[in-house]
Chains A and B, each alone.
Chain A
Amino acid sequence: MIRVVLPPHLKVLARIDDEVQLEVAEPVCVSTVLDALEARYPMLKGTIRDHVSRKRRAMVRFFACGEDLSHDPTDTPLPAAIAAGKEPLIIVAAIAGG
Chain B
Amino acid sequence: MSGVRVLVGTRKGAFILTSDERRQDWKVEGPLFEGWEIFHLKGSPADPDRIYASQSSGWFGQIMQRSDDGGKTWTTPGGGPEKSPQGWPAGESNKFVYDDSAETGKPMTTHQWYDGTQHPWEFKRVWHVEPSLHDPNTVYAGVEDAALFRSTDGGTTWQELAGLRGHGTGASWQPGAGGMCLHTIVQDPSNSKRIFVAISAAGCFRTDDGGETWTPINRGLRSPFMPDAEAEAGHCVHHVAMNPARPERLYMQNHFGVLRSDNAGDQWQDIRDNLPSEFGFPIDVHAHDAETVYVIPMDGNVRVPPEGKLRVFRSKTGGNDWEPLTNGLPQGNCFVNVLRDAMAVDTLDSCGIYFGTTGGQVYCSPDGGDNWAPIVRDLPSVFSVEVQTLR
User: B88 touching A57 by the CB < 8 A rule?
Assistant: no
Indicate if A34 sits at the interface (CB-CB under 8 A): no
User: Given the known A-B contacts A9-B35, A51-B95, are A43 and B59 also in contact in the complex, defined by CB atoms under 8 Å?
Assistant: no
- Rounded to whole angstroms, the CA-CA distance of A96 and B60 in the bound complex is 13
User: B79 touching A43 by the CB < 8 A rule?
Assistant: yes
Indicate if B78 sits at the interface (CB-CB under 8 A): yes
- Rounded to whole angstroms, the CA-CA distance of A41 and B382 in the bound complex is 30
User: Given the known A-B contacts A45-B79, A51-B92, are A59 and B58 also in contact in the complex, defined by CB atoms under 8 Å?
Assistant: yes
Most chain A CB neighbours (cut-off 10 Å) among B78, B94, B95, B97: B94
Contact code string A52-73 (vs B, CB < 8 Å = 1, else 0): 1000010110000000000000
User: Given the known A-B contacts A12-B35, A46-B95, A51-B95, are A60 and B79 also in contact in the complex, defined by CB atoms under 8 Å?
Assistant: no
Q: Which A6-42 residues sit within 8 Å CB-CB of chain B?
A: 7-10, 12-13, 39-42
How many interface residues does B have (CB within 8 Å)?
A: 24
User: Given the known A-B contacts A9-B35, A12-B35, A51-B97, are A45 and B59 also in contact in the complex, defined by CB atoms under 8 Å?
Assistant: no
Q: Which B125-180 residues sit within 8 Å CB-CB of chain A?
A: none
Interface of B is mostly: loop
- Known pairs A9-B35, A41-B89, A42-B91; list 14 more (Cβ under 8 Å): A9-B59, A12-B33, A13-B76, A43-B80, A43-B94, A44-B79, A45-B95, A46-B92, A47-B63, A57-B59, A60-B59, A60-B60, A93-B59, A96-B59
Indicate if B357 sits at the interface (CB-CB under 8 A): no
User: A47 touching B61 by the CB < 8 A rule?
Assistant: yes
- Rounded to whole angstroms, the CA-CA distance of A8 and B60 in the bound complex is 11
Give residues in B with beta carbon < 8 Å to A.
33-36, 57-63, 76, 78-80, 88-95, 97
User: B92 touching A59 by the CB < 8 A rule?
Assistant: no
Chain B residues with Cβ below 8 Å from A43 are 63, 76, 79-80, 89, 93-94
User: B89 touching A9 by the CB < 8 A rule?
Assistant: no
Size class of A's contact patch?
A: 20 to 34
Indicate if A48 sits at the interface (CB-CB under 8 A): yes
Chain B residues with Cβ below 8 Å from A45 are 79, 92, 94-95
User: Given the known A-B contacts A41-B79, A42-B78, are A9 and B88 also in contact in the complex, defined by CB atoms under 8 Å?
Assistant: no
Interface pairs (11), CB distance under 8 Å? A8-B35, A12-B34, A39-B88, A41-B89, A42-B78, A42-B90, A43-B76, A44-B79, A46-B61, A46-B94, A96-B59
User: Given the known A-B contacts A9-B35, A43-B76, are A48 and B92 also in contact in the complex, defined by CB atoms under 8 Å?
Assistant: no
Which residue of the partner chain, among A39, A52, A57, contacts B61 with CB atoms under 8 Å? Answer: A57
Chain A residues with Cβ below 8 Å from B76 are 13, 43
